[in-house]
Amino acid sequence: MKPLLEFKNLSFGYPGRPLFEGFNFSLKEGSRIGLIGPNGAGKSTLLRLMLGLERPKAGKIYFRGQELKKERDFYPVRREIGLLFQDPEDQLFCPTVEEDLAFGPLNLGLSRQEVAKRVAEVLQFLGLRGFEKRLTYRLSGGEKRLVALGSILTMQPKYILLDEPTGDLDWKNFQKLVSLLQNKMTSFLVVSHDFEFLELVCEEIFWLEKGRLEPLSKGQRRGIYFAIK
Amino acid sequence: MHISEGILPASVLIAGGVLSLLGTAIGLKRLTPETIPRAALLTAAAFVASLIHLPLGPSSVHLVFNGLLGLMLGMAAFPAFLICLFLQAVLFQFGGLTTLGVNTFNLAFAGIVGAWFGKFFFRFGLRGVVVGGFIAGALAIFLAGFLVALELFLAGESFHAVAKLILAAHLPVALVEGVVSAFICLYLQKVRPEIFQ
Amino acid sequence: MARPDPRLKVLFCFGYALLVATAETWEAVFWALCSSFLFAFFWRAWSLTLLKRLFGADFFLFFVVFTLPFTTAGNALLQVGPFWITKEGLLLALFIFCKSNAILLTTYVFFARNNVFELAHALHHLYLPSKLVQLLFFTLRYLELLEREFKRLFEAAKLRGFVPRTALRSYRVWAYLFASLFLRSYDRSRRIYEAMLLRGYQGYFPVWHHFSWARSDFFWLIGGSIYLIFMAILAYR
């Protein structure tokens, strides 16, 4: 199967801090990937590069085989790949839950009926029925996280990137997120420092350090798992 | 300091309204999709910060940040203060609805003029930023006080004494605002210079 | 009876404030004050907060009202130290005080206890420029968040021994606290913009919420208009 997104020979860095040099990576639909690594290794930057929020210094990015060059080329990528931010406050910029969930699909030009249907479906999916009129800034941390996820799901993306999604979740909401990812979602990449969480929801786990992405074998995973236990 | 309802004659209210309308229109025109969230968040920050009272001798003052918003937003300071003052009027009943135009003009115009003078010094390194920040902050307040006094002066003979008092009352506030603005500019110039466009 | 449509409230309030603020006759101000009291009773707005707002809020007004009796030329009534209080001055001060409070009371009744987002929506549907309404929305959305953020910064400073004083060193700390707030707001605004981009934003902010015009609004419209016309006649006779 053709990969959804592909990096070829990509280089990127911030002034005084090179991150990637000749970096290759590909993302396939239907994969559940975990990404772990030390602080500042460029995990979030990798996600930003995928969506065109940062541009590589050198190298090429392909989306469904098409090379991406201009800002405009990234529009379809953003439509099909959703990103859950580290801080849900940044993502929930509308006053009410309903409006926030509707923002994306309205921008896609869907009719109000279709949008209403999607909003209702997503709230049902997340187990947040009756939250339509709730004010986003009055939600609890966990609810904010779930609604932010919802605001991406209403775009009906093919693939979802999650950046540190477990930070502000209590045990109940943690369970909820785990079961959503395990049972109801098939294509996602999670960045997290929580190895146990990655073990629960991912098929493959990669270690990112010094611009290299190393898949962790079953044995290494078990080793890390017992090391932190 | 914002003028409350029922004091100024209709002519002054209308003049202030028209000028603010003009400034707001230009300010909005300059805003792009990218700068709208920035302007809004900086407005919100100024709003929050202006609710804080700093001790000044036996009394206290709150800052206005019009010079600073002038430095950061340019002409968009007009819509920014329109929103600030509108919120203060409907949330706390400070200022008023009919004086929205006059008050917006006083703060935004003074802020933009102060920032224009202050910005000149920004090219002279960090010390210049401190001087520029002080001038922007202090001048913006002094000018705003001057405009308030002028408008009261136009309201009639009875208001002449109040006008002078108001102008005098703005002097210490201008000093504090200048000092605090200078340090704020120093900090931001070091950490995030692009905030001043 | 259903509450009036927010758009009507905005229009009515602005009309009312303009009329009262520029009114030239005592009759108009008297009736305005009476009706403001009635509004406050009708919508059960009386509370401690309201009283505080009326008497504590407006420093500027008090400043003006207390000086006017001394500075207006006219028949002297009373001597206080070297100054004379005049009858004209007293009346002018009272006139301004009543006007101001009538408007304060009405704005409070109509807006202060409402959801401010509803107000912003109303302004959108009254055809204010989209950019201005977007600014208002974002400002409102992040106001409480930034307030909390500043509180955290301030508390952290206090925990490290910061005591606010009238001193250059103290002002410097205040300045750094404010600067951190501005810095955080600026950084956050960039993340928000990115979040919008990722959800297909291209400059047009779609609005989901629409108002529906209820039958009762028709009565509110007629009632409000009649009231304002009546006030206009009284005010500019």
Percentage of residues in chain C with pLDDT exceeding 70?
Answer: 97
CATH of the domain at A219: 3.40.50.300
The band of B1, judged by pLDDT with boundaries at 50, 70 and 90, is low
Q: Do B97 and C183 touch (CB under 8 A)?
A: no
Q: Give C74-99 as a 3 state SS string.
A: CCEEEEECCEEEEHHHHHHHHHHHHH
The domain total for chain A is 1
Work out whether strand C83-86 and strand A66-67 pair parallel, antiparallel, or are unpaired: unpaired
What is the model's pLDDT at position A51?
A: 93
The band of C202, judged by pLDDT with boundaries at 50, 70 and 90, is confident
B-contacting chains (≥3 CB pairs under 8 Å): C
Query: 3-class SS at A214?
Result: strand
Q: Do B37 and C193 touch (CB under 8 A)?
A: yes
Domain that holds residue A186: 5-228
Q: Which amino acid is at B41?
A: L
Q: Which amino acid is at C121?
A: H
- Smallest CA-to-CA distance from C183 within B194, B16, A143, A57 is with B194
ipTM: 0.95
Query: How many angstroms away from the CA of B108 is the closest CA of chain C?
Result: 15
Angle at A221 between CA A35 and CA A88, to 5 degrees: 30
Mean pLDDT across chain B, nearest whole number?
93
Which chain C residues contact residue A107 at CB under 8 A? 199-202, 204, 206
What is the model's pLDDT at position C195?
A: 94
Long-range CB contacts for residues C219-224, cutoff 8 Å, separation at least 24: C219/C1, C220/C4, C220/C5, C220/C8, C221/C8, C224/C4, C224/C8, C224/C11, C224/C12, C224/C15
Return the residue of C nearest to B28 by Cα: C131
The band of C2, judged by pLDDT with boundaries at 50, 70 and 90, is low
Report the C-alpha gap between A97 and A147 in whole angstroms.
7
Mean pLDDT across chain C, nearest whole number?
88
Query: 3-class SS at A87?
Result: coil
Which chain C residues contact residue B82 at CB under 8 A? 132
Partners of A208 in beta bridges: A213
Report the C-alpha gap between B8 and B17 in whole angstroms.
12
- Closest Cβ–Cβ partner in C146, C166, C203 for B48: C146
Angle at A174 between CA A169 and CA A177, to 5 degrees: 115
- The two tokens of residue B2 are 């914002």
Who has greater pLDDT, A102 or A220?
A102
Q: Do A78 and C206 touch (CB under 8 A)?
A: no
Report the C-alpha gap between A142 and A173 in whole angstroms.
6
Who has greater pLDDT, C43 or C196?
C196
- The two tokens of residue A11 are 């280089």
Residues 6+ apart with CB under 8 A from C46: C40
Residues 6+ apart with CB under 8 A from C160: none
Q: Do C196 and A93 touch (CB under 8 A)?
A: yes
Report the C-alpha gap between C188 and C200 in whole angstroms.
19
Query: How many angstroms away from the CA of B166 is the closest CA of chain C?
Result: 9
Least confident of A69-73, C101-105, C205-209: C205-209
Which chain A residues contact residue C138 at CB under 8 A? 93
Residue A226 has pLDDT above 70, yes or no: no
Report the C-alpha gap between A27 and A13 in whole angstroms.
21
- Smallest CA-to-CA distance from B101 within B5, B187, B172 is with B5
* pTM (two decimals): 0.91
Q: How confident is the model over C89-108, as a mean pLDDT?
A: 90
Note the residue count of chain C: 237
Query: How many angstroms away from the CA of C105 is the closest CA of chain B?
Result: 9
CB A189 within 8 A of CB A165: no
Q: Do C141 and A93 touch (CB under 8 A)?
A: yes
Size of interface A-C (CB pairs under 8 A): 69
pLDDT tens-digit readout, A151-202: 999 999 999 999 999 987 888 889 999 999 998 888 999 999 988 899 999 9
pLDDT tens-digit readout, C17-66: 999 999 989 999 999 999 999 988 888 888 888 887 777 656 778 788 88
Which chain C residues contact residue B54 at CB under 8 A? 164, 171, 174
CB C23 within 8 A of CB C235: yes
Q: Do B96 and C21 touch (CB under 8 A)?
A: yes
Query: 3-class SS at A129?
Result: coil
Q: Do B47 and C139 touch (CB under 8 A)?
A: yes
Query: 3-class SS at A216?
Result: coil
Query: How many angstroms away from the CA of B59 is the closest CA of chain C?
Result: 10
Longest dimension (CA), chain A: 52
Q: Do B93 and C108 touch (CB under 8 A)?
A: yes
Q: How confident is the model over C138-147, as a mean pLDDT?
A: 93
Report the C-alpha gap between B40 and C142 in whole angstroms.
9
Return the residue of C nearest to A71 by Cα: C197
Residues 6+ apart with CB under 8 A from A32: A181, A186, A187, A188, A201, A202, A203, A204
Residues 6+ apart with CB under 8 A from B123: none
- Smallest CA-to-CA distance from A90 within A132, A130, A147, A38 is with A147
Which one of C124, C184, C196, C198 makes the best mutation probe of the A interface by having the most chain A beta carbons within 10 Å? C198
Which chain B residues contact residue C53 at CB under 8 A? 92-93
Domains in chain B, start-ordered, CATH in brackets?
10-196 (1.10.1760.20)
CA dihedral B164, B165, B168, B173 (to 10 degrees): -130
